[in-house]
Structure 1
Amino acid sequence: MQARAGFISSPHAARVNSVDWVMLQVCLALVPGTLALVWFFGWGVLINMALAVVFAVVAEALVMKVRGRPALPAIADYSAVVTALLFALTIPPTLPWWLTLLGILFAIVIVKQLYGGIGYNPFNPAMAGYVFLLISYPVATTTWLPPDVPALLAAQDLVTLSFMDSARLIFTGALPAEHTWDAVSAATPLDEMRTLLDQGMTMDEIRASSPLWGLFGGRGWEWVAFWFLLGGLYMLWRKVITWQIPVAFLAGLMLAAAVFWLLDPQSYPAPMLHLVSGAAVLGAFFIATDPVSACTTKRGQLVYGFLIGVTIYVIRTWGGYPDAVAFSVLLLNIAAPMIDHYTQPRVFGQKRSA
């Protein structure tokens, strides 16, 4: 029977989500957490995001021209934009513009396009670009502004930066004449916790020593984690990602933290502090779930996510980097093909081996 005008004939299979649709959903899901970062850490977050997106799109277009391929399809799938946004959300809002350029060039040109472009990169480009900068320029990439929390600013004689101050700092490296770096920078909660524990202080003493600490973790950082969690739940609802990786990721981190916290609560932070004081929530929903560099089997995703969480705890506790999300994701990117190999589902009709 002929289909009526205005109706689509069979087959009626659902259309597979396109890359550009998925990437746009990720961008939308990042909005709540981004707004929270801007609220607590200033305009530098937005300036970094704008710079990273421009650099990423231009780099992607130039590489495609060099490869003799049309640039528009590569740009129009928004994968470079998502890489840029995730990269910009992990770097400090004071990072000089030329370091943002270096990180994006490494992420797009070396990690993504050198391996063949989207779908072929074995590592998460945004995290590879961040780690490249962290290893090469550790001071610049670990200098964060204090959260805009009045009690904290007043207690430690800290100040926040206006839009013009942030732009001047990023593009020229110049602080306002009346301020020094000590007045505009502060350690992250994980860095502060790690330093004071190494000095022999107990958890109770650390929490009582500074207004930096809120109910569960660092003030300001708690709210950032909550709003990124909201964005992650939106992606689950829209079926942009599945639950296996983020749930296993957070479970691995919190289980490892809970074991040591129960053994000695004065020497090891509580699990919730690990969850809300760094990039764990952002990593669980937006970074580890990268469909190209992550595992693809359902059981493999559970193993992959869980091992990332455990690795984060190991590096945070005994390694040299307080956050460790980027390092852990990249390490498990290496292991993803092997995990997939050993977690393949049974083929229909095939008997299980004895």
Structure 2
Amino acid sequence: MNEQFNISASPHIRAKDSTGNIMLWVVIALLPATLFGIWNFRDQNAWILVIVTVAAAVLTEFVYEKLMHKKVTIQDMSAAVTGLLLALNLPPSAPWWMGVLGAVFAILIVKQLFGGLGQNFMNPALAARCFLLISFTGRMTSFTYDGVAGATPLATMRADGSIANVDTMKMFIGQIPGTIGETSVIAIMIGAIILLLKGIIDLRIPGSYLVSFVVFITIFGGHGFDWSFITAHLCGGGIMLGAWFMATDYVTSPITKKGQIVYGILLGVLTGLFRLYGGSAEGVSYAIIIGNILVPLIEKVTLPKPFGKGGEK
């Protein structure tokens, strides 16, 4: 009986794509950033952290559902996507056990204890990253590139107040310190184009996110419309990975078209606030988490009015 009838909240949308197919395409779209990160940080064995984190996420979901006598859902690949996104948000120098701890937190605490896929109120991978940032700040903000420990380009800009010591072309290619999957804008955009062509995402959320962010830093960044300054901010940190792959998460983003634009603008403003006035040079993770929490309110005020009584005539 449980297999024949599913009781769930609206909206009820029929589509040819299954959750498994969508998640598979997300994994495929993340492969360019993943492979580049593994090659870019090959001296730090980034591949080990990626494999261990993904495996821990899948295993946690499998063990929990077995213990709770629930249907095993690892075949929908949502746990694998969570693990992969978390791994791409970790510095390559992070020990493997941090990836495991973050994966367990993401799947068990943020996803399964709230009811599983579709019930979590925030992005599990980003929630785990914020948990690790709070718990292990030093390790999560320590970066090494080509055997040399140093600050990320965003941190360098924040420290000296200029972009003179920042190479935006290297930032665009990805030859900079950072987390495993955030450094190469080229690799991220290849994946984003795949998702756009497959119709899995559209431009409303990432477009409004990036445009509002650019407007914010242009007005309040102290450099005016300085294209080098804007490019450095767009290519640095996790804003491109966040805008195309995490802000667009189906579960934790608005379903209304107007709501998606409002949500994107909110993320752009929050990211700008955190980057320009916050305690660290980054702010994407916290911006998206706060945006996730506000999604129910955004949807409430952006729902279209029904025709008929009390609606539009």
TM-score for the superposition, normalised by structure 1: 0.77
1:225 and 1:279 in contact (8 A); partners too: no
- Aligned to 2:209, the other structure's residue is in SS state helix
Match of 1:102 in 2: 101
- Give the C-alpha shift of residue 62 in structure 1: 1.1
1:216 and 1:276 in contact (8 A); partners too: no
Supply the distance in 2 between the matched residues of 1:271 and 1:229 (Cα, whole angstroms): 17
Q: Indicate how the Cα distance of structure 1 residues 350 and 275 shifts in structure 2: closer, same or farther if over 3 A, else same.
A: farther
Match of 2:175 in 1: 220
Supply the distance in 2 between the matched residues of 1:252 and 1:340 (Cα, whole angstroms): 19
Q: Structure 2 matches for 1:1-354, cutoff 5 A?
A: 15-42=15-42, 44-71=45-72, 74-146=73-145, 159-160=146-147, 184-197=148-161, 203=162, 206-207=163-164, 210=165, 212-215=166-169, 217=171, 220-221=175-176, 224-261=184-221, 264-265=223-224, 270-348=229-307
Q: Indicate how the Cα distance of structure 1 residues 216 and 48 shifts in structure 2: closer, same or farther if over 3 A, else same.
A: closer
Supply the distance in 1 between the matched residues of 2:225 and 2:16 (Cα, whole angstroms): 51
CA offset digits 1:139-158 (Å, max 9, x no partner): 10111222xxxxxxxxxxxx
Supply the distance in 2 between the matched residues of 1:44 and 1:138 (Cα, whole angstroms): 21
Q: Which has the larger radius of gyration?
A: 1
CA offset digits 1:111-152 (Å, max 9, x no partner): 000100000000100000000000110010111222xxxxxx
Match of 1:151 in 2: none
Supply the distance in 2 between the matched residues of 1:256 and 1:312 (Cα, whole angstroms): 9
- Give the C-alpha shift of residue 40 in structure 1: 2.5
- Give the C-alpha shift of residue 216 in structure 1: 8.1
Gaps (5+ residues) in structure 1? 1-12, 147-158, 161-183, 198-202
AA partner of residue 128 (structure 2) = G
Supply the distance in 1 between the matched residues of 2:247 and 2:305 (Cα, whole angstroms): 25
Supply the distance in 1 between the matched residues of 2:24 and 2:309 (Cα, whole angstroms): 40
CA offset digits 1:308-327 (Å, max 9, x no partner): 01101100111112111110
Match of 1:170 in 2: none
1:216 and 1:273 in contact (8 A); partners too: no
Q: Indicate how the Cα distance of structure 1 residues 237 and 351 shifts in structure 2: closer, same or farther if over 3 A, else same.
A: farther
- Give the C-alpha shift of residue 38 in structure 1: 2.5
Supply the distance in 2 between the matched residues of 1:216 and 1:310 (Cα, whole angstroms): 26
CA offset digits 1:46-80 (Å, max 9, x no partner): 22110011101110011102211132xx1100000
Gaps (5+ residues) in structure 2? 1-12, 177-181
Supply the distance in 2 between the matched residues of 1:224 and 1:231 (Cα, whole angstroms): 11
> What value does the CA root-mean-square deviation take over the aligned residues?
2.5
- Give the C-alpha shift of residue 346 in structure 1: 3.0
- Give the C-alpha shift of residue 260 in structure 1: 2.6
Supply the distance in 2 between the matched residues of 1:339 and 1:185 (Cα, whole angstroms): 42
2:120 and 2:252 in contact (8 A); partners too: yes
AA partner of residue 158 (structure 2) = R
Supply the distance in 2 between the matched residues of 1:139 and 1:319 (Cα, whole angstroms): 17
AA partner of residue 63 (structure 1) = Y
CA offset digits 1:22-62 (Å, max 9, x no partner): 00000000111222223323253322110011101110011
2:171 and 2:184 in contact (8 A); partners too: no
AA partner of residue 314 (structure 1) = L
Paired residue total: 294
- Give the C-alpha shift of residue 16 in structure 1: 2.8
Supply the distance in 2 between the matched residues of 1:101 and 1:14 (Cα, whole angstroms): 36
Supply the distance in 2 between the matched residues of 1:116 and 1:15 (Cα, whole angstroms): 23
Q: Indicate how the Cα distance of structure 1 residues 115 and 14 shifts in structure 2: closer, same or farther if over 3 A, else same.
A: closer
Match of 1:8 in 2: none
Supply the distance in 2 between the matched residues of 1:104 and 1:293 (Cα, whole angstroms): 18
- Give the C-alpha shift of residue 229 in structure 1: 1.4
